[in-house]
Amino acid sequence: MAPGLLGRTPTSVRVGLDKLARPTPAILSAGIRGQSISELRRHGKLLMLRMSGGSTWAIHLGMTGQVILAETRPLVKHIHITVGFADGGPRLYYRDPRQFGFMAWCADQAALEAGPLANMGPDALGIPLEVFLERLHGRSGKLKSLLLDQRVLAGVGNIYADESLHRAELHPLARPAGLSREQLANLHRHLQETLAEALARGGSTISNFVDAHGRPGTFQHAHRVYQRGGQACGVCGREIQRIVVAGRSTHFCPGCQGQ
């Protein structure tokens, strides 16, 4: 997204669904209009666009949020916010079928930390081993729930939790308190590898994910367990099981991931 946004100045903000614009559509619009985008950062599922005046335009992707940069309005449903730019180039379309994401304007770093970044754990991508162990070691919760909990680690979603646990040969219901340091270190390594591989392949397109230019990802072809319930495990041949953990569909192999 950076090449399509850096240095550009928003001049119009159209909000179709008020609850997705924080603190209000009018404040969001007044905050970012006329300021150029000087830097892009990401933490977990939160994108942070630093504006020339020092404020931040935050875009949280939630579960199904998407940023689409395009000359004309894409022919898809659920586009809730449209931002136009001074250069008349591609507009930014914020699409979010399930509406768990949002856009926010934060006047300064303190507002960012008290708002969109509040209660967010360290970013999962590139998290140092020691920090990862500190977050999980000795915890009594279920591994899958902890991986999805953005307060523990930011940025791990349902697909990558399942895929990392299979690669690390850990049962989704295992609890860190019952695991060795080596097992958790192994999970750290597989989580990093899974995220890096998925990024290199443009993510996983199951139903609607596409990148900022509308391109689908291909990592779904590398999935070992996610949405493969009833199929044979590619490693051991046992039938992949589906259970529900923390309200989310969870897939694992009872052979590779014995509890």
Tell me which of 219, 233, 251, 252 binds Zn ion, using CB under 5 A.
233
- Which residue in 133, 235, 241, 248 binds Zn ion (CB under 5 A)? 235
Indicate if the alpha-carbon torsion angle 165, 170, 174, 175 is positive or negative.
negative
Exposure of 67 in the CB half-sphere (CA atoms within 13 A): 21
Question: CA angle, 61 as apex, 56 and 64 as ends, to 5°?
Answer: 165
Binding Zn ion by CB under 5 A: which of 47, 68, 104, 256?
Answer: 256
Q: Does 147 bind Zn ion (CB under 5 A)?
A: no
- Give the interface segment with Zn ion, choosing from 83-91, 102-110, 208-216, 231-239 (CB under 5 A): 231-239
48 binds Zn ion (CB under 5 A): no
236 counts as binding Zn ion under rule CB under 5 A: yes
* Sequence-separated contacts (24+) of 106-114 with Cβ below 8 Å: 106/55, 106/56, 106/58, 107/31, 107/55, 108/54, 108/55, 108/56, 109/56, 111/56, 112/48, 112/56, 112/58
Q: Which residue is nearest to Zn ion (CB)?
A: 233
> Which 171-210 residues touch Zn ion, going by CB under 5 A?
none
| Cis status of the peptide bond prior to 172, with omega within 30 of 0 | no
State the minimum distance, in angstroms, from the CB of residue 173 to Zn ion: 16
Which of the stretches 24-32, 40-48, 208-216, 245-253 binds Zn ion when contact is defined by CB under 5 A? 245-253
Binding site for Zn ion (CB under 5 A): 233, 235-236, 253, 255-256
